[in-house]
Every structure is written in structure tokens, then in C-alpha cells.
Chains A and B, each alone.
Chain A
Amino acid sequence: GNSVTQMEGPVTLSEEAFLTINCTYTATGYPSLFWYVQYPGEGLQLLLKATKADDKGSNKGFEATYRKETTSFHLEKGSVQVSDSAVYFCALRANQGGKLIFGQGTELSVKP
């Protein structure tokens, strides 16, 4: 079946550090891939997405590239800020019914 695996957290970084959160997936067919972010006490917000192989999604300085050969969609940011502290979820959406399948979430804490 379809699944998503993320690196475990929590991840603690200093402000302006480089961020990578690894995400790999297992899926049949050609899923779309997403990163969602959940700030403390809030719902999920779409951060970025990619709908086909080699697409790069980007938003707010975050980037992720859909790599079919390695079944990965790693999230990166060159310089994190304290305001980036949140839980990040990698997710895939296959065509069957459109449900999102989430990874387990990675908590990011950025210290000043």
C-alpha cells in the first residue's frame, strides 16, 4: 500500500541554519506530493506541492523536489527563522479517492 516515512524529530536548529527534513514514499502509480506545516495550536497549512517527477515545489524559502528515482521529497530551507518552528508533514495523494497519506510529522524548533 501507499505510505510516507519522514525523519524523526524533534529537530533543533539555531537561527539561520540550513534545514533538511527527509521524506520518502511508497506508492503505486503517480502520486502528488505535499508538505504541510502545523504551527502550534493551529490547523494544517499547505507549504508546497509537486505533482509529477522532477517538479520542484517552493514557498516561503522552502523547497522540495519530487525525485521518482529515489522516491523522495526532502524539504529544505537555506536559513531558518524562529518563526519556522512548527511540525512539518510530508504527504502523498494518490488518485484513488484522493485521500492524503501523511508521514508521522517532524517537529522543528529554531532557537535564536
Chain B
Amino acid sequence: DTAVSQTPKYLVTQMGNDKSIKCEQNLGHDTMYWYKQDSKKFLKIMFSYNNKELIINETVPNRFSPKSPDKAHLNLHINSLELGDSAVYFCASSPGGGGAIYEQYFGPGTRLTVT
């Protein structure tokens, strides 16, 4: 009955590889997000989708490509992985169209290590 789930929980890979992280929410929310948490715990938005449409695209290298097959899923594909991509990636969801009053519900995170 997990609300926001991510797979895998841990991902270790080599530079240059391509990898994907999957996210699913069973809360019926319209909006989903990807955040990156660096080694100093700093969290920053990467992308947001509302009903499968991209609404936020921060300054993120175009090696990162989100895909939302339906409003319950938001996957993150990363091409040509670099050492600096090592971080914890969090998926989140919220009701409504992104209005300020709604809180976001976070997944458990995916720890990506690039060697």
C-alpha cells in the first residue's frame, strides 16, 4: 500500500552507461516531480509533470529525460552517466495542478552511484 514507490532503491553503474529510475504513485494525484539530493543533502527540483504534461523543466542537462506514460507514473532516464550524477533522486506527487497549498508526498529515494 506504498503511496509513492521508486525502483530501484540502489543503483551502481559505470560512467557512460544509460539507466532508468521508475516512480509510481497510487494516490490518484495529478502532479509528479523529480528532485535531486546531493551529497550535502541539498534538494533541488528537476522536473514536474501534470497529467502527463511537462510543466517544470529546471536547468538540467539534456542527458536527463523524464517520461510519463500515465499520470500515475513518472520515470527518469539518464544517458551517458557522469560521476557528478551520483546523488539520491526523489520522486514526489501532489494533488491539484501544482497549487501552493498542497503538500508533496515523497518516495523513498534512489541512491545512484556512478563509478
Contact = CB atoms under 8 A, between A and B. Distances in A.
A105 to B, nearest CB: 4
Contact of A45 (B44, B58, B97, B106): B106
Interface of B: 4, 31, 33, 35, 40-45, 48, 55-56, 58, 90, 92, 94, 96-109
A47 B106 CA distance: 12
Contacts of B101: 32, 51
B100 A31 contact: yes
Contacts of A44: 43, 90, 92, 106
Contacts, number: 72
A99 B100 contact: no
Given A43-B90, A43-B107, A44-B106, A99 B42 contact: no
A77 interface: no
A105 B44 CA distance: 12
A34 to B, nearest CB: 6
A102 B42 contact: yes
B45 A100 contact: yes
A97 B44 contact: no
Contacts of A112: none
Contacts of A98: 31, 48, 56, 94, 96-100, 102
A32 B90 contact: no
Contacts of A101: 45
Nearest to B41: A105
